[in-house]
Amino acid sequence: MPGIYLHVVWGFLGQLQQRTGVEFCSEEWDSFTLDGGMFYINGWNSYWLMDHAADEYTRPRVREMLQAGAKMGLTVCRTWAFNDGGYNALQISPGRYDERVFKALDHVIAEARQQGIRLLLCIVNNLKAYGGKTQYVKWAWEEGIGLSSSNDSFFYDPSIRIYFKNHVKVMCISLSSSILFPFPFPFCILLFFDTIADAPNSIATKGVHPWPVFARKMVSVKPMEDWIEDMSMFVKSIDKKHLLTVGLEGFYGPKSPKKSTVNPGDWAADLGSDFIRNSQISTIDFASVHIYPDHCFSYEDCDAELKKPVMFTEFGLSNLNKDFEPSQRDQFYKVIYDIIYKSAKRKKSGAGSFVWQFLVGGMEEYNDDFGIIPWDRPLTYQLITKHSCKLAAVQGVLPSQKDHLKELCPRTR
């Protein structure tokens, strides 16, 4: 790495361009822009923010996490804006909401605004955690209007689509009309509705469709594609201000020539999603992938085929791996950060990355084998903050970063 390059990266903050007057983020060709300048994201996942904001004794953790993210020079937090049924449910049943939990989401947004952190909000989950598509199917089945008890009916059952569209409408209207972030919102909260299903997959393409009327061999990813088109068009009909994506894992479909070289296994091509086809839909603003060690991905496809930004909305390394050492996780983080930095320098489509996941102290019950408290390991903390400095050197400093980056990015001697 040339010395002149190191000097530019670690140069005095005063040499970096400061950006002001931030409003809405936009997508132009294959990258994000913010107030007319490039916007490459150093972000993280803390899915638990709304859940913790709903209870008074855990609410301080929300501020602690967002403050810590800002101090690391991070710019966007990906978090859940859904909880369907169960404890601390936002949506108690179709169309019925707990105002206390809506206020908890407002609290998260207010705290993020205070810290200058943008949010990438997810509004439904492919998995059972926090309800997700399983809860929608259960609601329809218990009401006697569901076509099937299969989780896949979330994608093709007209009644469930109505449930979900009604929920999307409530969320769009409530969020966009909130006094916490009126249009135009000066801190450019990124309401990426990152997921109209996080990691959406359907086992229907493996064999016989679970809806008997259409029992036949599935030979394409068309059912999922139809659902994405329908839902994304619906969202855009309500809210054209915010950027929209699907929380894809980045798997290639059965007809893709890359399925054998990029997918983590043969099974991944048979889950019903196809990264290229799904991301090419015109009402999807940017692509989303999850990056873990068993999953290769080349963002060059986004440059060559999609002409859209791609964000690594999850990446991480499990501590359950054989002979795991924290240094291995650092090495993996660095690989991802280097990809994004290289993309930013070349103004390419690799638009940002989000570590899975960050926690604060006392959250053992929320930890999985990927979660970390970044400041507990100085080398990991330095790696994260260095990436913030490198991106700032390329794209300029956001007003919310100015004070923190003065400390993080000292003059290199």
pLDDT in tens, 61-77: 999 999 999 999 999 99
Whether residue 232 lies inside any domain: the answer is: yes
Q: Residue 128: what pLDDT? A: 84
Identify the domain containing residue 211 by its residue range.
25-408
Q: Residue 362: what pLDDT? A: 92
Strand partners, 287: 310
Listed range (208-212, 222-226, 337-341, 343-347) with the worst mean pLDDT: 208-212
Q: What is the pTM of this model?
A: 0.82
| Own/partner pairs, 178-187, CB within 8 angstroms, 24+ separation | 178/106, 178/109, 180/106, 180/109, 180/110, 180/113, 181/109, 181/113, 183/241, 184/23, 184/24, 185/23, 185/24, 185/113, 186/22, 186/23, 187/22, 187/112, 187/113, 187/116, 187/118, 187/400
Q: Residue 272: what pLDDT? A: 60
Q: Residue 261: what pLDDT? A: 61
Whether residue 7 lies inside any domain: the answer is: no
Q: What is the CATH number of the domain that holds 47?
A: 3.20.20.80
154, pLDDT greater than 50? yes
Number of domains into which the chain is organized: 1
Whether residue 2 lies inside any domain: the answer is: no
* pLDDT digits 0-9 by tens, 271-311: 666 777 788 888 888 888 888 875 555 556 566 677 888 89
Q: Residue 265: what pLDDT? A: 62
Whether residue 66 lies inside any domain: the answer is: yes
* SS3 at position 114: helix
What are the Cα distances from residue 79, in Å, to 44, 160, 324, 355? 9, 24, 27, 12
* pLDDT digits 0-9 by tens, 249-269: 766 665 665 655 666 666 555
How confident is residue 371, by pLDDT bands cut at 50, 70 and 90? very high
Phi-psi region of 355 (alpha: psi -120 to 50; beta: other; left: phi over 0): beta
Whether residue 6 lies inside any domain: the answer is: no
Q: Residue 150: what pLDDT? A: 87
4, pLDDT greater than 70? no
Whether residue 49 lies inside any domain: the answer is: yes
345, pLDDT greater than 50? yes
* pLDDT digits 0-9 by tens, 166-213: 999 998 887 766 544 433 333 333 334 444 444 455 544 443 323 232
* pLDDT digits 0-9 by tens, 18-31: 433 334 455 555 67
Whether residue 346 lies inside any domain: the answer is: yes
Whether residue 14 lies inside any domain: the answer is: no
